[in-house]
A and B are shown apart, each in its own frame.
Chain A
Amino acid sequence: MGSLRTLFILITFLSLEILILIYLFLMVFLHNFFAYFKDRYSVNKRKWLESKIMESIQNPQNIPYLSGTYDLLVSLENFSRKVQGEEFDVVKKHVISQSLLSKAYRYVDSPFWKKRNFAARVFSLFPRKEEEPLMLKLMDDKKFLVKSVVGIALVKIKSREGVKKLIDLMSRSTGYAYYFYKDILLQGELDMYDILLEEGMHSEDEKIFKAILSIFANKTIIKPIPFLEKTLQSRDHLLIKEGLNALVRNPQQGSARVFMTFKTHPDEEIRAVAAKGLALYPTDEAKNTLKEMIQDSRWKVRFQSALSLKYTGEVEFLKRLKPEDNQAVFDTAQYVLEFV
Protein backbone atom coordinates (compact mmCIF):
# COMPACT_ATOMS: atom_id res chain seq x y z
CA MET A 1 0.00 0.00 0.00
CA GLY A 2 2.75 2.40 1.01
CA SER A 3 4.76 1.73 -2.12
CA LEU A 4 1.67 2.23 -4.28
CA ARG A 5 1.10 5.58 -2.65
CA THR A 6 4.72 6.61 -3.25
CA LEU A 7 4.44 5.52 -6.85
CA PHE A 8 1.29 7.56 -7.29
CA ILE A 9 2.93 10.70 -5.86
CA LEU A 10 5.97 10.19 -8.08
CA ILE A 11 3.84 9.81 -11.21
CA THR A 12 1.86 12.93 -10.28
CA PHE A 13 4.99 15.00 -9.86
CA LEU A 14 6.49 13.71 -13.08
CA SER A 15 3.28 14.51 -14.95
CA LEU A 16 3.24 18.00 -13.51
CA GLU A 17 6.85 18.55 -14.56
CA ILE A 18 6.09 17.38 -18.08
CA LEU A 19 3.06 19.65 -18.25
CA ILE A 20 5.14 22.62 -17.09
CA LEU A 21 7.80 21.84 -19.68
CA ILE A 22 5.17 21.58 -22.43
CA TYR A 23 3.68 24.88 -21.29
CA LEU A 24 7.10 26.61 -21.34
CA PHE A 25 7.93 25.18 -24.74
CA LEU A 26 4.58 26.39 -26.08
CA MET A 27 5.12 29.88 -24.68
CA VAL A 28 8.61 30.15 -26.20
CA PHE A 29 7.32 28.89 -29.54
CA LEU A 30 4.40 31.33 -29.58
CA HIS A 31 6.66 34.22 -28.55
CA ASN A 32 9.11 33.49 -31.37
CA PHE A 33 6.28 32.96 -33.82
CA PHE A 34 4.66 36.31 -33.12
CA ALA A 35 8.01 38.09 -32.83
CA TYR A 36 8.96 36.92 -36.34
CA PHE A 37 5.82 38.38 -37.87
CA LYS A 38 6.02 41.49 -35.73
CA ASP A 39 9.61 42.10 -36.92
CA ARG A 40 8.66 41.60 -40.55
CA TYR A 41 5.75 43.96 -40.12
CA SER A 42 8.05 46.52 -38.49
CA VAL A 43 10.62 46.30 -41.30
CA ASN A 44 7.95 46.73 -43.96
CA LYS A 45 6.27 49.51 -42.05
CA ARG A 46 9.55 51.38 -41.64
CA LYS A 47 10.31 51.07 -45.35
CA TRP A 48 6.88 52.48 -46.12
CA LEU A 49 7.33 55.31 -43.60
CA GLU A 50 10.76 56.17 -45.01
CA SER A 51 9.30 56.37 -48.52
CA LYS A 52 6.55 58.69 -47.25
CA ILE A 53 9.10 60.87 -45.46
CA MET A 54 11.14 61.04 -48.66
CA GLU A 55 8.06 62.06 -50.69
CA SER A 56 7.29 64.71 -48.10
CA ILE A 57 10.79 66.20 -48.41
CA GLN A 58 10.18 66.57 -52.14
CA ASN A 59 6.70 67.95 -51.53
CA PRO A 60 6.61 69.68 -48.14
CA GLN A 61 3.23 71.34 -48.82
CA ASN A 62 1.55 67.98 -48.81
CA ILE A 63 2.80 65.96 -45.86
CA PRO A 64 0.51 63.00 -45.17
CA TYR A 65 -0.54 61.94 -41.70
CA LEU A 66 1.88 59.23 -40.57
CA SER A 67 0.74 56.97 -37.78
CA GLY A 68 2.87 54.71 -35.70
CA THR A 69 4.84 55.16 -32.54
CA TYR A 70 8.09 53.30 -32.25
CA ASP A 71 8.42 52.55 -36.00
CA LEU A 72 7.82 56.18 -36.92
CA LEU A 73 10.40 57.37 -34.40
CA VAL A 74 13.00 54.89 -35.68
CA SER A 75 12.28 55.89 -39.30
CA LEU A 76 12.77 59.56 -38.48
CA GLU A 77 15.96 58.81 -36.56
CA ASN A 78 17.31 56.77 -39.50
CA PHE A 79 16.56 59.62 -41.83
CA SER A 80 18.22 62.12 -39.52
CA ARG A 81 21.45 60.19 -39.84
CA LYS A 82 21.33 60.53 -43.62
CA VAL A 83 19.79 63.88 -44.41
CA GLN A 84 19.70 67.33 -42.84
CA GLY A 85 18.58 70.82 -43.83
CA GLU A 86 15.55 73.02 -43.83
CA GLU A 87 13.32 70.82 -46.00
CA PHE A 88 13.79 67.81 -43.79
CA ASP A 89 13.34 69.95 -40.67
CA VAL A 90 9.92 71.07 -41.92
CA VAL A 91 8.83 67.48 -42.42
CA LYS A 92 10.33 66.34 -39.11
CA LYS A 93 8.62 69.13 -37.19
CA HIS A 94 5.27 68.44 -38.82
CA VAL A 95 5.39 64.68 -38.27
CA ILE A 96 6.62 64.94 -34.68
CA SER A 97 3.99 67.53 -33.74
CA GLN A 98 1.22 65.56 -35.36
CA SER A 99 2.05 62.01 -34.36
CA LEU A 100 4.66 61.75 -31.61
CA LEU A 101 4.67 64.77 -29.34
CA SER A 102 1.52 64.05 -27.38
CA LYS A 103 2.75 60.54 -26.60
CA ALA A 104 6.13 61.92 -25.57
CA TYR A 105 4.45 64.30 -23.10
CA ARG A 106 2.52 61.40 -21.56
CA TYR A 107 5.55 59.13 -21.39
CA VAL A 108 7.73 61.56 -19.42
CA ASP A 109 6.11 60.33 -16.20
CA SER A 110 5.81 56.70 -17.21
CA PRO A 111 7.00 54.07 -14.71
CA PHE A 112 8.52 52.15 -17.64
CA TRP A 113 11.98 53.36 -18.66
CA LYS A 114 11.48 52.39 -22.30
CA LYS A 115 8.60 54.84 -22.56
CA ARG A 116 10.66 57.55 -20.88
CA ASN A 117 13.45 56.72 -23.36
CA PHE A 118 10.90 57.14 -26.18
CA ALA A 119 10.01 60.59 -24.86
CA ALA A 120 13.71 61.54 -24.61
CA ARG A 121 14.29 60.42 -28.19
CA VAL A 122 11.33 62.42 -29.51
CA PHE A 123 12.56 65.58 -27.78
CA SER A 124 16.08 64.92 -29.01
CA LEU A 125 14.94 64.59 -32.62
CA PHE A 126 13.49 68.07 -32.70
CA PRO A 127 14.43 69.91 -29.54
CA ARG A 128 12.47 73.03 -28.66
CA LYS A 129 12.73 75.49 -25.80
CA GLU A 130 9.06 74.83 -24.96
CA GLU A 131 9.91 71.30 -23.86
CA GLU A 132 12.90 72.33 -21.74
CA PRO A 133 11.15 71.71 -18.37
CA LEU A 134 10.20 68.17 -19.43
CA MET A 135 13.70 67.52 -20.73
CA LEU A 136 15.23 68.72 -17.47
CA LYS A 137 12.92 66.35 -15.63
CA LEU A 138 14.19 63.47 -17.77
CA MET A 139 17.78 64.52 -17.03
CA ASP A 140 17.15 63.53 -13.41
CA ASP A 141 16.10 60.05 -14.47
CA LYS A 142 17.92 57.14 -12.89
CA LYS A 143 18.36 55.37 -16.25
CA PHE A 144 21.44 56.27 -18.31
CA LEU A 145 19.54 55.57 -21.55
CA VAL A 146 17.03 58.27 -20.68
CA LYS A 147 19.23 61.08 -19.36
CA SER A 148 21.99 60.62 -21.91
CA VAL A 149 19.57 60.91 -24.84
CA VAL A 150 17.83 63.99 -23.51
CA GLY A 151 21.23 65.55 -22.74
CA ILE A 152 21.85 65.80 -26.48
CA ALA A 153 18.61 67.76 -26.87
CA LEU A 154 19.47 70.14 -24.04
CA VAL A 155 22.84 70.96 -25.58
CA LYS A 156 21.16 71.67 -28.92
CA ILE A 157 18.84 74.24 -27.33
CA LYS A 158 21.72 75.60 -25.20
CA SER A 159 19.81 75.06 -21.99
CA ARG A 160 21.73 76.60 -19.08
CA GLU A 161 20.32 74.17 -16.53
CA GLY A 162 20.79 71.28 -18.93
CA VAL A 163 24.47 72.03 -19.50
CA LYS A 164 25.03 72.37 -15.75
CA LYS A 165 23.37 69.02 -15.14
CA LEU A 166 25.49 67.44 -17.85
CA ILE A 167 28.77 68.72 -16.44
CA ASP A 168 27.68 67.58 -13.01
CA LEU A 169 26.87 64.10 -14.35
CA MET A 170 30.17 63.98 -16.20
CA SER A 171 32.10 64.92 -13.07
CA ARG A 172 30.45 62.09 -11.09
CA SER A 173 30.72 59.43 -13.81
CA THR A 174 33.48 57.07 -14.80
CA GLY A 175 34.21 54.92 -17.82
CA TYR A 176 31.79 54.91 -20.75
CA ALA A 177 29.30 57.33 -19.20
CA TYR A 178 32.00 59.94 -18.53
CA TYR A 179 33.12 59.95 -22.16
CA PHE A 180 29.55 59.88 -23.44
CA TYR A 181 28.63 63.04 -21.51
CA LYS A 182 31.93 64.61 -22.54
CA ASP A 183 31.17 63.94 -26.22
CA ILE A 184 27.72 65.50 -25.86
CA LEU A 185 29.22 68.63 -24.34
CA LEU A 186 31.88 68.84 -27.04
CA GLN A 187 29.16 69.03 -29.68
CA GLY A 188 27.84 72.31 -28.39
CA GLU A 189 28.03 75.58 -30.25
CA LEU A 190 30.62 78.12 -29.19
CA ASP A 191 28.32 80.35 -27.16
CA MET A 192 27.24 77.36 -25.08
CA TYR A 193 30.66 77.32 -23.44
CA ASP A 194 29.91 80.62 -21.72
CA ILE A 195 27.73 78.51 -19.41
CA LEU A 196 30.70 76.32 -18.55
CA LEU A 197 32.93 79.34 -18.02
CA GLU A 198 30.39 80.76 -15.61
CA GLU A 199 30.04 77.44 -13.83
CA GLY A 200 33.81 77.23 -13.51
CA MET A 201 33.95 80.71 -11.99
CA HIS A 202 31.44 79.93 -9.26
CA SER A 203 31.89 76.27 -8.47
CA GLU A 204 33.92 75.10 -5.49
CA ASP A 205 33.72 71.45 -6.55
CA GLU A 206 37.07 70.19 -7.84
CA LYS A 207 35.44 67.39 -9.80
CA ILE A 208 33.36 69.93 -11.71
CA PHE A 209 36.53 71.95 -12.39
CA LYS A 210 38.28 68.89 -13.77
CA ALA A 211 35.33 68.08 -15.99
CA ILE A 212 35.09 71.64 -17.34
CA LEU A 213 38.83 71.81 -17.97
CA SER A 214 38.69 68.46 -19.71
CA ILE A 215 36.14 69.99 -22.10
CA PHE A 216 38.32 73.04 -22.71
CA ALA A 217 41.32 70.79 -23.28
CA ASN A 218 39.45 69.41 -26.29
CA LYS A 219 37.68 72.48 -27.57
CA THR A 220 39.01 75.81 -28.79
CA ILE A 221 36.66 78.43 -27.40
CA ILE A 222 38.68 81.57 -28.26
CA LYS A 223 37.84 83.16 -24.90
CA PRO A 224 39.78 83.84 -21.74
CA ILE A 225 39.39 81.23 -19.01
CA PRO A 226 39.57 83.32 -15.81
CA PHE A 227 39.70 80.42 -13.33
CA LEU A 228 42.76 78.81 -14.90
CA GLU A 229 45.14 80.73 -12.66
CA LYS A 230 43.43 79.37 -9.54
CA THR A 231 43.53 75.85 -11.03
CA LEU A 232 47.24 75.98 -11.71
CA GLN A 233 47.93 76.93 -8.11
CA SER A 234 46.17 73.81 -6.83
CA ARG A 235 47.99 70.98 -5.07
CA ASP A 236 46.03 68.42 -7.08
CA HIS A 237 48.33 67.25 -9.87
CA LEU A 238 45.47 65.98 -12.00
CA LEU A 239 43.79 69.36 -11.80
CA ILE A 240 46.99 71.13 -12.82
CA LYS A 241 47.43 68.75 -15.73
CA GLU A 242 43.85 69.39 -16.94
CA GLY A 243 44.42 73.12 -16.54
CA LEU A 244 47.60 73.00 -18.61
CA ASN A 245 45.90 70.92 -21.29
CA ALA A 246 43.14 73.53 -21.45
CA LEU A 247 45.83 76.19 -21.77
CA VAL A 248 47.51 74.34 -24.64
CA ARG A 249 44.19 74.28 -26.48
CA ASN A 250 43.19 77.83 -25.47
CA PRO A 251 46.35 79.87 -25.03
CA GLN A 252 45.91 82.93 -22.82
CA GLN A 253 48.08 85.98 -22.38
CA GLY A 254 51.27 84.97 -20.60
CA SER A 255 50.79 81.25 -21.29
CA ALA A 256 54.41 80.77 -22.39
CA ARG A 257 55.64 81.92 -18.98
CA VAL A 258 53.16 79.55 -17.30
CA PHE A 259 54.46 76.57 -19.27
CA MET A 260 58.06 77.48 -18.44
CA THR A 261 57.16 77.63 -14.75
CA PHE A 262 56.19 73.97 -14.82
CA LYS A 263 59.39 72.70 -16.48
CA THR A 264 60.72 71.40 -13.15
CA HIS A 265 57.45 70.20 -11.60
CA PRO A 266 57.88 66.87 -9.76
CA ASP A 267 55.11 65.23 -11.81
CA GLU A 268 56.37 64.04 -15.22
CA GLU A 269 52.88 64.24 -16.75
CA ILE A 270 52.74 67.94 -15.94
CA ARG A 271 56.25 68.56 -17.30
CA ALA A 272 55.25 66.75 -20.51
CA VAL A 273 52.17 68.95 -21.00
CA ALA A 274 54.28 72.04 -20.31
CA ALA A 275 56.70 70.92 -23.04
CA LYS A 276 53.75 70.39 -25.38
CA GLY A 277 52.47 73.90 -24.70
CA LEU A 278 55.82 75.49 -25.52
CA ALA A 279 55.47 74.28 -29.13
CA LEU A 280 53.10 77.20 -29.60
CA TYR A 281 55.86 79.75 -28.92
CA PRO A 282 58.78 79.70 -31.35
CA THR A 283 60.72 82.26 -29.30
CA ASP A 284 64.32 81.86 -28.20
CA GLU A 285 63.30 81.68 -24.58
CA ALA A 286 60.79 78.90 -25.20
CA LYS A 287 63.21 76.96 -27.40
CA ASN A 288 65.97 77.23 -24.80
CA THR A 289 63.58 75.91 -22.18
CA LEU A 290 62.74 72.96 -24.43
CA LYS A 291 66.44 72.30 -25.01
CA GLU A 292 66.78 71.98 -21.24
CA MET A 293 63.67 69.82 -20.94
CA ILE A 294 64.84 67.37 -23.58
CA GLN A 295 67.52 66.33 -21.05
CA ASP A 296 64.78 65.12 -18.67
CA SER A 297 65.18 61.67 -17.12
CA ARG A 298 61.64 60.63 -18.15
CA TRP A 299 60.82 59.50 -21.70
CA LYS A 300 57.47 61.28 -21.82
CA VAL A 301 59.02 64.67 -21.13
CA ARG A 302 61.97 64.11 -23.49
CA PHE A 303 59.62 62.95 -26.25
CA GLN A 304 57.29 65.92 -25.91
CA SER A 305 60.19 68.35 -25.75
CA ALA A 306 61.76 66.86 -28.88
CA LEU A 307 58.43 67.02 -30.68
CA SER A 308 57.93 70.65 -29.71
CA LEU A 309 61.46 71.48 -30.85
CA LYS A 310 60.72 69.84 -34.20
CA TYR A 311 57.49 71.84 -34.56
CA THR A 312 59.29 75.09 -33.76
CA GLY A 313 61.86 74.45 -36.49
CA GLU A 314 64.74 73.12 -34.39
CA VAL A 315 65.34 70.05 -36.54
CA GLU A 316 69.05 70.82 -36.93
CA PHE A 317 69.46 70.99 -33.19
CA LEU A 318 67.88 67.53 -32.86
CA LYS A 319 70.13 66.14 -35.59
CA ARG A 320 73.26 67.50 -33.86
CA LEU A 321 72.59 65.59 -30.64
CA LYS A 322 75.21 62.89 -30.01
CA PRO A 323 74.78 59.49 -28.32
CA GLU A 324 78.04 59.90 -26.39
CA ASP A 325 76.61 63.01 -24.68
CA ASN A 326 73.38 61.31 -23.62
CA GLN A 327 72.14 58.08 -25.23
CA ALA A 328 68.59 58.47 -24.01
CA VAL A 329 68.28 62.02 -25.34
CA PHE A 330 69.84 61.00 -28.63
CA ASP A 331 67.43 58.04 -29.01
CA THR A 332 64.42 60.24 -28.27
CA ALA A 333 65.51 62.82 -30.84
CA GLN A 334 66.09 60.13 -33.47
CA TYR A 335 62.69 58.62 -32.78
CA VAL A 336 60.95 61.95 -33.23
CA LEU A 337 62.91 62.77 -36.37
CA GLU A 338 62.23 59.41 -38.00
CA PHE A 339 58.82 58.28 -36.87
CA VAL A 340 56.74 61.30 -35.99
Chain B
Amino acid sequence: MDEGVKKKILVVDDDEAIISLLVRTFQVKGYEVIGLKTGAEARAFIQDEAKVGELALFILDRLLPDVQGLQILKEFQAKYQKKVPVLLLSSLASEKDVLAGLQEGAVDYVTKPFSIPVLIQKAMSLIGKNHG
Protein backbone atom coordinates (compact mmCIF):
# COMPACT_ATOMS: atom_id res chain seq x y z
CA MET B 1 0.00 0.00 0.00
CA ASP B 2 1.38 3.44 -0.92
CA GLU B 3 2.34 5.73 1.95
CA GLY B 4 -0.25 8.42 2.52
CA VAL B 5 -2.96 6.67 0.53
CA LYS B 6 -5.70 5.76 2.92
CA LYS B 7 -7.75 2.88 1.58
CA LYS B 8 -11.37 2.32 2.38
CA ILE B 9 -13.44 -0.74 3.15
CA LEU B 10 -17.17 -0.79 2.47
CA VAL B 11 -19.24 -2.84 4.93
CA VAL B 12 -22.91 -3.46 4.21
CA ASP B 13 -24.68 -5.14 7.13
CA ASP B 14 -28.00 -4.40 8.84
CA ASP B 15 -26.44 -5.20 12.23
CA GLU B 16 -25.04 -2.04 13.78
CA ALA B 17 -22.91 -4.04 16.20
CA ILE B 18 -21.13 -5.81 13.32
CA ILE B 19 -20.45 -2.50 11.58
CA SER B 20 -19.08 -0.97 14.80
CA LEU B 21 -16.93 -4.02 15.39
CA LEU B 22 -15.51 -3.95 11.87
CA VAL B 23 -14.93 -0.18 12.05
CA ARG B 24 -12.80 -0.62 15.18
CA THR B 25 -11.09 -3.74 13.85
CA PHE B 26 -9.96 -2.26 10.54
CA GLN B 27 -9.17 1.20 11.95
CA VAL B 28 -6.32 -0.41 13.86
CA LYS B 29 -4.96 -1.64 10.50
CA GLY B 30 -5.17 1.87 9.04
CA TYR B 31 -8.34 1.43 6.99
CA GLU B 32 -11.36 3.64 6.98
CA VAL B 33 -14.62 1.69 7.11
CA ILE B 34 -17.79 2.95 5.47
CA GLY B 35 -20.78 1.26 7.07
CA LEU B 36 -24.16 0.96 5.34
CA LYS B 37 -27.19 -0.78 6.75
CA THR B 38 -29.54 -1.36 3.83
CA GLY B 39 -29.52 -2.59 0.27
CA ALA B 40 -30.87 0.75 -0.93
CA GLU B 41 -27.92 2.61 0.63
CA ALA B 42 -25.53 0.08 -0.90
CA ARG B 43 -27.11 0.50 -4.33
CA ALA B 44 -26.78 4.30 -4.11
CA PHE B 45 -23.13 3.98 -3.07
CA ILE B 46 -22.11 1.62 -5.87
CA GLN B 47 -23.55 3.98 -8.48
CA ASP B 48 -20.76 6.42 -7.57
CA GLU B 49 -17.68 5.20 -9.47
CA ALA B 50 -15.38 7.65 -7.74
CA LYS B 51 -16.32 6.31 -4.33
CA VAL B 52 -16.02 2.69 -5.45
CA GLY B 53 -12.60 3.52 -6.92
CA GLU B 54 -11.32 4.25 -3.41
CA LEU B 55 -12.36 0.86 -2.06
CA ALA B 56 -9.84 -1.81 -1.15
CA LEU B 57 -12.49 -4.33 -0.12
CA PHE B 58 -16.26 -4.80 -0.02
CA ILE B 59 -17.71 -6.81 2.87
CA LEU B 60 -21.34 -7.68 2.21
CA ASP B 61 -23.96 -9.38 4.37
CA ARG B 62 -26.24 -11.73 2.50
CA LEU B 63 -29.37 -11.02 4.51
CA LEU B 64 -30.32 -7.37 4.30
CA PRO B 65 -33.71 -5.99 5.36
CA ASP B 66 -34.80 -4.70 1.95
CA VAL B 67 -32.98 -6.73 -0.70
CA GLN B 68 -30.90 -9.90 -0.99
CA GLY B 69 -27.17 -9.36 -0.59
CA LEU B 70 -26.60 -11.65 -3.60
CA GLN B 71 -28.62 -9.25 -5.75
CA ILE B 72 -26.37 -6.36 -4.66
CA LEU B 73 -23.33 -8.53 -5.41
CA LYS B 74 -24.64 -9.34 -8.86
CA GLU B 75 -25.20 -5.66 -9.66
CA PHE B 76 -21.79 -4.73 -8.26
CA GLN B 77 -19.97 -7.36 -10.31
CA ALA B 78 -21.90 -6.43 -13.46
CA LYS B 79 -20.68 -2.84 -13.12
CA TYR B 80 -17.16 -3.30 -11.73
CA GLN B 81 -16.20 -6.82 -12.88
CA LYS B 82 -14.13 -7.93 -9.89
CA LYS B 83 -12.08 -4.71 -9.67
CA VAL B 84 -12.83 -4.67 -5.96
CA PRO B 85 -12.75 -8.00 -4.08
CA VAL B 86 -16.00 -8.90 -2.34
CA LEU B 87 -16.14 -10.91 0.86
CA LEU B 88 -19.55 -12.27 1.79
CA LEU B 89 -20.47 -12.41 5.45
CA SER B 90 -23.47 -14.49 6.42
CA SER B 91 -25.13 -16.71 8.98
CA LEU B 92 -26.22 -18.95 6.07
CA ALA B 93 -23.63 -21.67 6.21
CA SER B 94 -24.84 -24.55 4.07
CA GLU B 95 -22.79 -25.76 1.12
CA LYS B 96 -25.53 -24.56 -1.22
CA ASP B 97 -25.42 -21.03 0.23
CA VAL B 98 -21.64 -20.80 0.11
CA LEU B 99 -21.59 -22.02 -3.50
CA ALA B 100 -24.27 -19.52 -4.49
CA GLY B 101 -22.20 -16.68 -3.06
CA LEU B 102 -19.00 -17.77 -4.74
CA GLN B 103 -20.76 -18.36 -8.06
CA GLU B 104 -22.06 -14.78 -8.02
CA GLY B 105 -18.50 -13.51 -7.83
CA ALA B 106 -17.60 -13.25 -4.17
CA VAL B 107 -13.93 -14.01 -3.62
CA ASP B 108 -14.50 -15.41 -0.17
CA TYR B 109 -17.34 -16.40 2.14
CA VAL B 110 -17.19 -16.05 5.92
CA THR B 111 -19.96 -17.52 8.04
CA LYS B 112 -21.23 -16.08 11.30
CA PRO B 113 -20.17 -16.48 14.02
CA PHE B 114 -16.79 -15.49 12.67
CA SER B 115 -13.40 -15.21 14.26
CA ILE B 116 -12.08 -11.64 14.16
CA PRO B 117 -8.42 -12.57 13.53
CA VAL B 118 -9.46 -14.92 10.72
CA LEU B 119 -11.59 -12.22 9.13
CA ILE B 120 -8.76 -9.70 9.35
CA GLN B 121 -6.33 -12.18 7.81
CA LYS B 122 -8.69 -12.98 4.95
CA ALA B 123 -9.38 -9.30 4.36
CA MET B 124 -5.68 -8.40 4.30
CA SER B 125 -4.92 -11.27 1.93
CA LEU B 126 -7.67 -10.19 -0.43
CA ILE B 127 -6.52 -6.57 -0.34
CA GLY B 128 -2.91 -7.61 -0.85
CA LYS B 129 -3.79 -9.88 -3.81
CA ASN B 130 -5.81 -7.11 -5.40
CA HIS B 131 -2.93 -4.66 -5.14
CA GLY B 132 -0.54 -7.27 -6.47
Contact = CB atoms under 8 A, between A and B. Distances in A.
The answer to whether A and B belong to the same complex is yes
- Looking at chain B's contact residues, is the secondary structure mostly helix, strand, loop, or mixed? helix
A87 B120 CA distance: 13
Interface stretch (B17-25, B35-43, B51-59, B124-132): B17-25
For chain A, the bracket of interface size reads 10 to 19
A58 B29 CA distance: 13
Given A50-B17, A79-B17, A82-B17, A87 B112 contact: no
Contacts, number: 45
What size tier do the contact residues of chain B reach? 10 to 19
Given A81-B91, A82-B15, A88 B112 contact: no
Interface of A, helix, strand, loop or mixed by DSSP: helix
A83 B117 contact: no
B107 interface: no
B113 A54 contact: no
Interface string A25-44: 00000000000000000000
Contacts of B45: none
A227 B20 CA distance: 53
A62 interface: no
Nearest to A55: B24
Contact of B21 (A54, A78, A84): A54
Contact of B114 (A51, A54, A57, A84): A84
A94 to B, nearest CB: 17
A87 to B, nearest CB: 6
Interface of B: 15, 17-18, 20-21, 24-25, 28, 91, 112-118
Interface of A: 50-51, 54-55, 57-58, 78-88
